[in-house]
Chains A and B, each alone.
Chain A
Amino acid sequence: MIRFGHIIIATAVVVNLCAVVSGRHGLPARENTAKIAAPQRFPPPEFESGYDLPPSPAAPHPRQSIYEYIDVAVLLAALILASYLVLKMRSRRAIFVLMVFSLVYFGFWRKGCVCPIGAIQNIVLSIFDRDYAVPITVSAFFLLPLIFTLFFGRVFCSAVCPLGAIQDLVLLRPVSVPDWLASGLRVFAYLYLGLAVLFAATGSAFLICRYDPFVSFFRLSGNLNILIIGACFLVVGLFIGRPYCRFFCPYGVILRQLSRLSRWRVTITPDECIGCRLCEDACPFGAIRKPADEWSATEYVRGKKTLALLILLLPVLILFCGWAGARFKNVTSRMHSTVRLAERIYLEEAGEVEGTTDASLAFRATGREVKDLYEEASGVRGQFAIGGWLLGGFMGLVIGVKLTAVSVWRQRTDYEADRAGCLACGRCFKHCPRERLRLSKKDKAIS
Chain B
Amino acid sequence: MKSPDNNTSGDVQAVSAWHRSAVATALVGAVFSVIVLALIVGNYIRGRVHETRWEKKLENLRIEISNQPDDEQALLEEIRRLDLEFRRAMFRVLDFSRTGSYLLLASLSVFVIGIKWAGTFKEKMPAPQPQQGAASEQIRQAMLARWSVAAALGLAGAVMLFLAIGPRIDFRATDAAADSYPTPEKISRNWHRFRGPEGAGISADVNMPESWDGKSGKGILWKTKVPVAGHNSPVVWGDRLFLSGGDPNRLNVFCFDALSGELLWTGDVKRAPLKPNEEPVEVMEDTGWAAPTVTTDGKRVFAIFVTGDLACFDFSGRSFWSKNLGTPDNVYGYASSLEMYRNLLLIQYDQGDTESEKSKLIALDGFSGRVVWQAKRPVANSWSTPIVARTDSGPQIITAADPWVIAYEPNSGAEIWRAECLAGDVAPTPIYANGLTFVIEPYSKTVAIRTDGKGDVTKTHIAWSLDEPAPDICSPIGNGEFVFILNSDGLALCFKAADGEKLWEEDIGEGRDSFLASPSLVGDKLYLLTEKGIMIIAEVLPKYNELARCELGEECCASPAFVDGRIYIRGVENLYCIGKEETTQEP
Q: Which residues of A contact B (CB under 8 A)?
A: 39, 41, 108, 169-170, 172, 178-181, 183-185, 187-188, 191, 220-221, 277-282, 290, 292-293, 295-296, 299, 303, 310, 321, 324, 328, 330-331, 342-343, 346-349, 351-352, 356, 360-361, 364-365, 367, 369-371, 374-375, 377-378, 381, 395, 399, 402-403, 406-407, 409, 431
Does the CB pair A403–B157 fall under 8 Å? Answer: no
Does the CB pair B101–A221 fall under 8 Å? Answer: yes
Complex Cα distance, B145 from A220, in Å, reads 39
By a CB distance below 8 angstroms, the chain B residues around A277 are 128, 131
Q: Can you list 26 A-B contacts (CB < 8 A)?
A: A179-B141, A181-B148, A183-B145, A184-B145, A187-B153, A220-B98, A281-B126, A295-B139, A296-B135, A310-B146, A331-B163, A343-B169, A346-B178, A356-B368, A361-B370, A371-B176, A371-B178, A374-B171, A378-B171, A395-B153, A395-B156, A399-B149, A402-B149, A403-B146, A406-B149, A409-B138
Given pairs A180-B145, A349-B180, 11 additional interface contacts (CB within 8 A): A184-B147, A187-B153, A220-B105, A280-B128, A282-B126, A292-B135, A328-B160, A328-B164, A330-B168, A348-B367, A407-B146
Complex Cα distance, B455 from A261, in Å, reads 75
Complex Cα distance, B361 from A41, in Å, reads 13
Complex Cα distance, B534 from A316, in Å, reads 82
**Chain A residue nearest to B123 in the complex (CB):** A430
Contact of A365 among B176, B180, B365 (CB under 8 A): B365
Chain A, interface SS category: helix
Contact of B370 among A364, A369, A375 (CB under 8 A): A364
Q: Which residues of B contact A (CB under 8 A)?
A: 97-98, 101-102, 105, 112, 115-116, 119, 126-129, 131, 134-135, 138-139, 141-153, 156-157, 160, 163-164, 167-169, 171-172, 174, 176, 178-180, 314, 316, 318, 342-344, 365, 367-368, 370, 372-373, 376, 411
Query: How far does the Cβ of B377 sit from chain A's closest Cβ, in whole Å?
Result: 12
By a CB distance below 8 angstroms, the chain B residues around A352 are 167
Q: Which of B135, B152, B160, B365 has the most chain A CB atoms inside 10 A of its CB?
A: B152
Does the CB pair A180–B144 fall under 8 Å? Answer: yes
**Chain B residue nearest to A409 in the complex (CB):** B138
Does the CB pair B112–A170 fall under 8 Å? Answer: yes
By a CB distance below 8 angstroms, the chain B residues around A406 are 141-142, 145-146, 149
By a CB distance below 8 angstroms, the chain A residues around B119 are 172
By a CB distance below 8 angstroms, the chain A residues around B179 are 369-371
Does the CB pair A346–B171 fall under 8 Å? Answer: yes
Complex Cα distance, B149 from A221, in Å, reads 36
Does the CB pair A172–B115 fall under 8 Å? Answer: yes
Does the CB pair B372–A365 fall under 8 Å? Answer: yes
Query: How far does the Cβ of A417 sit from chain B's closest Cβ, in whole Å?
Result: 16
Contact of A364 among B139, B160, B368 (CB under 8 A): B368
Complex Cα distance, B466 from A407, in Å, reads 99
Complex Cα distance, B180 from A360, in Å, reads 13
Complex Cα distance, B135 from A290, in Å, reads 12
Complex Cα distance, B370 from A356, in Å, reads 10
Contact of B365 among A179, A321, A364, A402 (CB under 8 A): A364
Does the CB pair A370–B126 fall under 8 Å? Answer: no
By a CB distance below 8 angstroms, the chain B residues around A395 are 153, 156
By a CB distance below 8 angstroms, the chain A residues around B172 are 374, 378
Complex Cα distance, B170 from A343, in Å, reads 9
Known: A281-B127, A328-B160. A356 touches B135 (CB 8 A): no
Query: How far does the Cβ of A419 sit from chain B's closest Cβ, in whole Å?
Result: 17
Complex Cα distance, B133 from A296, in Å, reads 12
Complex Cα distance, B412 from A367, in Å, reads 10
Query: How far does the Cβ of A445 sit from chain B's closest Cβ, in whole Å?
Result: 17
By a CB distance below 8 angstroms, the chain A residues around B178 are 346, 349, 370-371, 374
Query: How far does the Cβ of A435 sit from chain B's closest Cβ, in whole Å?
Result: 12
Contact of B112 among A169, A185, A290, A370 (CB under 8 A): A169
**Chain A residue nearest to B105 in the complex (CB):** A220
**Chain A residue nearest to B115 in the complex (CB):** A172
